[in-house]
Amino acid sequence: MSFAKLGLSQPIVNALDELNYQQPTPIQAKAIPVALSGNNIIAAAQTGTGKTASFVLPILQRLVASGAATQGVRPKRIKALILAPTRELVLQVQSNIKAYSKNLNINALAMYGGVDSKPQKQALIEGVHILVATPGRLLDMYTQRALHFDELELLVLDEADRMLDMGFIDDINRIVERLPERRQSMLFSATLNNAVRSLAKTNIKKATEISLISKERKPLIEQWAIPVDKDKKSALLSHLISQNSWLQALIFIGTKHGAAKLVSQLEKRGIEAESFHSGRSQAVREQILHDFKAGKVKYIVATGVVARGIDIDDLKLVINYDLPYPADEYIHRIGRTGRAGNQGQAVSLLSKDDFKNFCAIERKLQQIIERRVEAEFEPKKPLPKSDLNFVPKKKPASKLDDTKPSKPERMSKSHGAKGHSVTQIGKKSKSNKAKRTQLERQRSDKPTKRENTDNQNTKATPNGDGSFNPWLKR
């Protein structure tokens, strides 16, 4: 099936031909006709299957059919809104829109935080057909009355599961509440978990659901893991790059500090790399990605910020220096390679501290990931074997013995700031200990019943100073 048979206009088809888009992917073939009919959509497909074109192409076609492409847009108004979780994904979607609308008079604006808002405000004044934005910056601009939604016709929630993972649920709901009720809404996600379905149920009414997660052909990604002790990971990585002559790789790591440290370690071994994380400015990150795609930068050490939405043509290799949690994040990481039917490789450096995450990933994939031992880098203690049926043990709930009263927690008071008393639990207090000692002494001084009987048979004998000694018998 060709794109022309999907109902797209000739200028759009010509642009796709120039991009060498020969035929629609499964998600595009399913979603585009439904979107062109004006129905709401909830769609799920794996990373790297062409979800962006599935909603951008229908938007362009609708703008062409309505005449908006030739009439222009009033100041501070937009026709279509695409919400995306990260700045990188926003820029990627805007880049795709420009490529697909090459032969049309349609413009798109990327709106995100971390940069000066004045150019974005000016672009809105001049008129924008399609706005691609992160939820936070969009709300800021709306509260500043930089744009209005009264002419909006289409809404897209892209990478919805990722937006929920990043805590954008409240921002999304506030935005949707301000949009016209008469609009077409589309949600695209890599997964359709309960949280995504709840979001869709609240904000997208009477939608057609399209899920191709289990039906699509899996990406051609060769996966394997190399067991290694944590303190030898950087040396192993350097060895692998040199030994295998890897010309380019995207290396994922857990933290910003870890990324900077690993770049420094690689440089000491003669391997130049760039760190890529949220701590670097947007301009620097854009330049690094541009240089990486152009082949000027060979190795990027990145946190999860680039795990989604970044298209790097023919990227051969992804390396997991640290394994992520949850397991879904691993799928999105390795999804940067093996895209559009190309082959790719995903290598994980598996240390003991990552073993639980590794097992969770295998259970998610429902497959055992091959382990390859690298000579001179074997871990001191072998890692356990994989078990897809393993279920983590839950700690049994503690049962209180009714026959034995539980010991009360020792509580004492210490003085906090400005003389306030602070209750401390489980810590003995010297003053309380002294009080208990005094009480014990008082109790020991009280005569027992037997002592009272003995005292009745004892006569006090006067001492020389007029006092009596009760312990002397007659």
Q: What is the CATH number of the domain that holds 121?
A: 3.40.50.300
Please indicate, yes or no, whether residues 180 and 267 belong to a single structural domain of this protein.
Answer: no
The whole-number pLDDT of residue 401 equals 43
Please indicate, yes or no, whether residues 352 and 231 belong to a single structural domain of this protein.
Answer: yes
Q: What is the mean pLDDT of residues 367-387?
A: 92
Q: What is the mean pLDDT of the chain?
A: 83
SS3 176: helix
Please indicate, yes or no, whether residues 152 and 298 belong to a single structural domain of this protein.
Answer: no
Decide if 447 is inside a domain.
no
Could you give phi then psi for residue 181, rounded to 5 degrees? -70, -35
The whole-number pLDDT of residue 388 equals 80
Chain centroid to Cα 240, Å, comes to 28
- What would the two tokens of residue 68 be? 């908006």
The whole-number pLDDT of residue 95 equals 94
> Of the candidates 208, 162, 154, 163, which has an alpha carbon nearest to the alpha carbon of residue 182?
154
The larger pLDDT score, comparing residue 47 to residue 233, is at 233
Q: What is the pLDDT of residues 301-338, one digit of tens each?
A: 999 876 665 667 678 999 999 999 888 889 888 888 87
Residue 262 has a CB neighbour count (10 Å cut-off) of: 22
pLDDT over 70 at 212, yes or no = yes
110 and 94 in contact (C-beta within 8 Å)?
A: yes
Sorting pLDDT into bands at 50, 70 and 90, what band is 439?
A: low
pLDDT over 50 at 418, yes or no = no
User: Own/partner pairs for 329-334, CB < 8 Å, 24+ apart?
Assistant: 329/304, 330/361, 330/364, 331/46, 331/47, 331/190, 331/364, 331/365, 332/47, 332/162, 332/190, 332/307, 332/308, 333/252, 333/304, 333/307, 334/221, 334/223
pLDDT over 90 at 24, yes or no = yes
Q: State how far the Cα of 101 lies from the Cα of 106, in Å rounded to an integer.
A: 6
The whole-number pLDDT of residue 433 equals 57
The larger pLDDT score, comparing residue 136 to residue 465, is at 136
Please indicate, yes or no, whether residues 261 and 185 belong to a single structural domain of this protein.
Answer: no
Decide if 341 is inside a domain.
yes
352 and 230 in contact (C-beta within 8 Å)?
A: yes
Decide if 91 is inside a domain.
yes
Please indicate, yes or no, whether residues 236 and 330 belong to a single structural domain of this protein.
Answer: yes
Q: State how far the Cα of 46 lies from the Cα of 214, in Å rounded to an integer.
A: 9
pLDDT over 80 at 449, yes or no = no
What angle separates helix 355-365 from helix 327-334, to the nearest 10 degrees? 70
CA torsion angle for 171, 177, 182, 187 (degrees, to 10)?
30
The whole-number pLDDT of residue 454 equals 45
Please indicate, yes or no, whether residues 22 and 162 belong to a single structural domain of this protein.
Answer: yes
What is the total count of domains within the chain? Answer: 2
Please indicate, yes or no, whether residues 173 and 298 belong to a single structural domain of this protein.
Answer: no
The whole-number pLDDT of residue 442 equals 59
Q: What is the pLDDT of residues 112-127, one digit of tens each?
A: 998 899 999 999 999 8
Please indicate, yes or no, whether residues 194 and 224 belong to a single structural domain of this protein.
Answer: no
Which region among 21-35, 94-108, 386-400 has the lowest average model confidence (pLDDT)? 386-400
What is the identity of the amino acid at 74?
A: R
In this structure, are strands 317-320 and 249-252 parallel, antiparallel, or unpaired? parallel
Decide if 429 is inside a domain.
no
In the chain, DSSP finds a helix count (H) and a strand count (E) of 17, 18
Sorting pLDDT into bands at 50, 70 and 90, what band is 376?
A: very high
pLDDT over 80 at 386, yes or no = yes
The whole-number pLDDT of residue 88 equals 86
Please indicate, yes or no, whether residues 175 and 206 belong to a single structural domain of this protein.
Answer: yes
The whole-number pLDDT of residue 417 equals 45
Q: Of 371, 397, 428, which residue constitutes the final position of a domain?
A: 371
The whole-number pLDDT of residue 410 equals 43
Please indicate, yes or no, whether residues 234 and 206 belong to a single structural domain of this protein.
Answer: no
Q: State how far the Cα of 474 lies from the Cα of 427, in Å rounded to an integer.
A: 53
Decide if 459 is inside a domain.
no
pLDDT over 70 at 4, yes or no = yes
Q: State how far the Cα of 397 lies from the Cα of 224, in Å rounded to an integer.
A: 38
Please indicate, yes or no, whether residues 261 and 303 belong to a single structural domain of this protein.
Answer: yes
Decide if 294 is inside a domain.
yes
Q: What is the mean pLDDT of residues 218-231?
A: 88
pLDDT over 80 at 55, yes or no = yes
pLDDT over 60 at 470, yes or no = no
Q: State how far the Cα of 37 lies from the Cα of 61, in Å rounded to an integer.
A: 11
Q: What is the pLDDT of residues 126-177, one digit of tens each?
A: 989 999 999 999 999 999 999 999 999 999 999 998 898 888 999 999 999 9
SS3 451: helix
The whole-number pLDDT of residue 249 equals 94
Q: What is the domain range of residue 51?
A: 4-211
pLDDT over 50 at 408, yes or no = no
Which region among 87-96, 111-120, 403-412 has the lowest average model confidence (pLDDT)? 403-412
Q: State how far the Cα of 42 lies from the Cα of 57, in Å rounded to an integer.
A: 16
The whole-number pLDDT of residue 148 equals 96
Q: What is the mean pLDDT of residues 49-67?
A: 93
The whole-number pLDDT of residue 428 equals 46
Please indicate, yes or no, whether residues 179 and 57 belong to a single structural domain of this protein.
Answer: yes
Q: Of 211, 230, 265, which residue constitutes the final position of a domain?
A: 211
In this structure, are strands 184-189 and 343-350 parallel, antiparallel, or unpaired? unpaired
Q: Of 371, 399, 417, which residue constitutes the final position of a domain?
A: 371
Could you give the angle at the alpha carbon of 107 between the alpha carbons of 102 and 111, nearest 5°?
A: 125
**Residues of the chain above pLDDT 90, percent:** 57
Decide if 456 is inside a domain.
no
Q: Categorise residue 217: left if φ over 0, alpha if ψ from -120 to 50, beta otherwise.
A: beta
Q: State how far the Cα of 444 lies from the Cα of 431, in Å rounded to an integer.
A: 20
Decide if 79 is inside a domain.
yes
Sorting pLDDT into bands at 50, 70 and 90, what band is 437?
A: low
